[in-house]
A and B are shown apart, each in its own frame.
Chain A
Amino acid sequence: MTGEQIIFLVVAFVTLFAGLMVVTARNLVHAALWLVAALFGVAVTYALLHANFLAVVQVVVYIGAIAILFIFAVMLTRKDMRDQGPQMNKNWWLGAALAVLTFGGLYLMLQGWSGMSRTAAVYPSGFDAVAELGNELVSPAGYVLPFEVASVLLVAALVGAVYVAFNRK
């Protein structure tokens, strides 16, 4: 087992544990903070795959913007941030069975996949992954159409938000 694999196992365990705590924590702010931990674990996984750009964007967008907004919203909406009711309903065994089945199915499927045992490829020297990504996003042969459609969608969402919040005098 290489050092990278050990780090991956530790990070994966921490991420999964944090994810579990997100749904089981009774205090909503604690749940949001556990979510931050889980998202950070995903960022570390990206970094382990040599996807530096994605790792940093994960931190900037998910932790820097989305998680902070979550915490803000949670703090502003409820006075008592503790959930008193039961955390499960009577269908819990169905959910558990589905989760186990999905895990088993994925495990069986990925058993024969050669990618399981491969480590991340090392970039050749002088290879700039960010520049490649940028070129792909704006080249007609690459992903320019999905990129532009996504931008239009985001602008539409922004205009919609402004319209909803606009105070007509």
Chain B
Amino acid sequence: MSFWNDPLKVAADWLLGIFTGWGMPVPAANILIGFLGVLILISILMVLDIGLVWVERKVVARFQDRIGPNRLGPFGLIQPFADIIKLMIKEDTTPGGADKVVYNIAPMLSMMSVLILWAVVPLAPTILGVDLNIGVLYIIAAGAIGTLSIIMGGWSSNNKYALIGAFRQVAVMISFEIPMLATLLIPTILAGSMGTAAIIERQDVWYVLLSPLGALIFLVAAIAELGRAPFDLAEGESELVSGYNIEYSGMKFGMFYAGELLHAFTFGGFWAILFFGGYRFLGLEQVSPFLAIAVILFKAFIGYWLIMWVRYTLLRIRIDHMLAFNWKFLTPLAFTLIIVTALMHALLSGTPAWLYLAGMFLSNILVAWSALEIARSYSRREREKVDGKKAVEVGH
């Protein structure tokens, strides 16, 4: 076993040898190595996060027909470092009447809720924080902590815009959690396991082909969970200035901002893991774990790019529209899809692969088509009602 085949284990064994050589007992050395692993992963993620600031700014500029950062370094690559220095040396203000402890904990919790997600992200067959058998539920649990951080930040700022923003954001998050949880169950049904590693291992056919509708609902729910456009009512700069993080300055604001970017990237990664085969691509993951990491990062970036594309293309929708869309359309659709997927899976589980694939795909298309037809006939009826009223008014 060489470093290039299983880098994590080789490094851990090497460190264990060094630490026990210093006279450290084995359990203590193992705990220390675990902590070091977490530290390294988080450091890499934070460095990646700096890169994401640049990517986000450059991409939004292109979508808005601008060039974006271009003065500092080649392609403006040094710009995010300048941003960070600015955030660091900015005055750290606390609004009067703020609840200091809660106010200071909120940005930390926000960042933490994103970082702990990476514990269950399998970067390669052998590189995985922890193989939890309840991986997909863990994603929802981490989201719960994120919700809590937003409500804490919004309330403790002692600012009504922040509070209204927090209310809106939490309303979005707790309602879109339901279709998200429902679509997370679809890969669970298909793979027969809730663990992220097992879901990737059993994905011989990308689940997006078995459940295209599930992948789409997951993406919509993820965008809402992230609070990005078209679901960014919490920010609503024309109404709320900036929502729950209005009072935060300096690095505390930076934590919210960096957490949001990393969260979007992380959900791109989860989209890839659950529906696009994770680190698997044409057997490349068997060649080297480093290639596997490159594959999953590439897929995560595609998901992230798609989320950005949606964000900078669509307009913000009103909160009642958004809640109606979730509760009257997306949630029933997601539940119907789980029932149909479970039934089709049970019916087709013994059949040849092509029949299974075709049955799953067609049942998804059928569910999507009938949902759209129901929505269309409903809106037609509503429109006729309104038109009828107008006709009566004109008649008078």
A-side interface residues toward B, CB under 8 Å?
3, 29-30, 33, 36, 52-53, 56-57, 59-60, 63-65, 67-68, 71-72, 75, 128-130
Q: How large is the interface on B (under 10, 10 to 19, 20 to 34, 35 or more residues)?
A: 20 to 34
26 CB < 8 A contacts A-B: A3-B27, A29-B99, A29-B102, A33-B102, A33-B152, A52-B132, A52-B133, A53-B133, A56-B140, A56-B141, A57-B137, A59-B144, A60-B137, A63-B144, A63-B145, A64-B140, A64-B144, A64-B147, A64-B177, A65-B144, A67-B148, A68-B144, A68-B151, A71-B151, A72-B170, A128-B133
- Report whether B163 and A75 are in contact in the complex, using a CB–CB cutoff of 8 Å: yes
A64 to B174, CA, bound (A): 8
Q: Which residues does chain A contribute within 8 Å of B99, judged by CB atoms?
A: 29-30
- Report whether B145 and A59 are in contact in the complex, using a CB–CB cutoff of 8 Å: yes
Given A52-B133, A129-B133, A130-B194, decide whether A60 and B140 contact each other with a Cβ distance below 8 A. yes
B138, B141, B194 pick with most chain A CB within 10 angstroms:
B141
- Report whether B151 and A60 are in contact in the complex, using a CB–CB cutoff of 8 Å: no
Interface residues of B in 128-184 (CB under 8 A from A): 132-134, 137-138, 140-141, 143-145, 147-148, 151-152, 155, 163, 167, 170, 174, 177
Q: Which residues does chain B contribute within 8 Å of A128, judged by CB atoms?
A: 133, 193
Q: Which residues does chain A contribute within 8 Å of B177, judged by CB atoms?
A: 64
- Report whether A53 and B137 are in contact in the complex, using a CB–CB cutoff of 8 Å: yes
Q: Which residues does chain A contribute within 8 Å of B152, judged by CB atoms?
A: 33
Q: Which residues does chain B contribute within 8 Å of A53, judged by CB atoms?
A: 133-134, 137
**Which of A29, A68, A75, A130 is within 8 Å of B174, CB to CB?**
A68
CB distance from B90 to the nearest CB of A (A): 28
**Which 9 residue pairs are nearest across A and B when measured between Cβ atoms?**
A64-B144, A59-B141, A56-B137, A56-B141, A60-B141, A63-B144, A60-B140, A53-B134, A130-B133
Q: Which residues does chain A contribute within 8 Å of B138, judged by CB atoms?
A: 56
- Report whether A68 and B147 are in contact in the complex, using a CB–CB cutoff of 8 Å: yes
CB distance from B30 to the nearest CB of A (A): 10
- Report whether A75 and B132 are in contact in the complex, using a CB–CB cutoff of 8 Å: no
A130 to B192, CA, bound (A): 11
**Which of A57, A75, A130 is within 8 Å of B155, CB to CB?**
A75
**Which of B31, B143, B163 is within 8 Å of A64, CB to CB?**
B143
A114 to B285, CA, bound (A): 49
A36 to B144, CA, bound (A): 11
A29 to B154, CA, bound (A): 12
Q: A56-B137, A56-B141, A71-B151 are in contact. List 10 more A-B contacts (CB 8 A).
A: A29-B155, A52-B133, A53-B134, A53-B137, A56-B134, A60-B140, A67-B148, A68-B151, A72-B151, A128-B193
